[in-house]
Amino acid sequence: MSAIPKPGAAPALIEFRGVTKIYGQGQAAFQALDGVDLTIREGEFVAIMGPSGSGKSTAMNILGCLDSPTNGSYLFRGVHVERLSRDQRARLRRFYLGFVFQGFNLLARTSALENVELPLIYRGLARAERHRRALQALEAVGLAEWADHTPAELSGGQQQRVAIARAIVTDPAVLLADEPTGNLDTARSRELMELIAGLNRDQGITIAMVTHEPDMAGYAGRLVHFVDGRVDSDEPNPHRR
């Protein structure tokens, strides 16, 4: 069950209502999600945890409109996402969602600035406006001085910061982070989590993060544990960093 909102709580940004996801058919069918109910409210920082195969990554893919539920409803600000066309889901991703993955997914031969500008090209923004907003996003992650450097000239932690800048340059309603510290050492992981927590705290960006690391989940305000395709627990984090 989702955490019960307190009086005056922020409005629901995301809602899963009985979301089920089945891959394959017949005897080969695999049920990745089994009737999941989940609510994420504006301004929350939610860590989604669970063992391998628990359904957390499937849930993240549905949240990001990269996959669709087999049954149940996914509402984004009250709109039934499962009823949208492919083009409408693509538009939702482009204008409302930011993504950060374990792999940095940066273009190798382009500068940090050009990597961050990429989502704005898809929006059709003029070059000067793209440049201004991309530089502003790099400044927000502490990399403005590295704008002209290619990924090969950056450390792993810096590359992930560029990926975060690219994710937030569009001013998304929610940042979806899938194991964002998976390729980083402990020190760089903590630096990155301080950055993500700061984006939530200071800019009010809603964050849903999949992680298997309790230390990284400790930065979130709420902990959701998946087991066997279901939400096993959903509780506030009393020891948030």
Over the stretch 9-37, which tens digit does the pLDDT of each residue have? 677 999 999 999 999 988 889 999 999 99
pLDDT at 220: 97
DSSP 101-137: -SS----TTS-HHHHHHHHHHHTT--HHHHHHHHHHH
pLDDT, tens digit, 9 for 90 and up, residues 184-239: 999 999 999 999 999 999 999 999 999 999 999 999 999 999 999 999 999 999 88
pLDDT computed for residue 77 by the predictor = 95
Q: Is the CATH number 3.40.50.300 carried by domain 12-104+172-236?
A: yes
| 35 Rama class: left (phi>0) / alpha (psi -120 to 50) / beta | left
**CB 140 within 8 Å of CB 181:** no
- 47-93 pLDDT tens trace: 999 999 999 999 999 999 999 999 999 999 999 999 999 999 999 99
Residue ranges per domain, the chain? 12-104+172-236
Which amino acid, one-letter code, is at 61?
N
Output the pLDDT for position 1. 40
Q: What is the DSSP letter of 69?
A: -
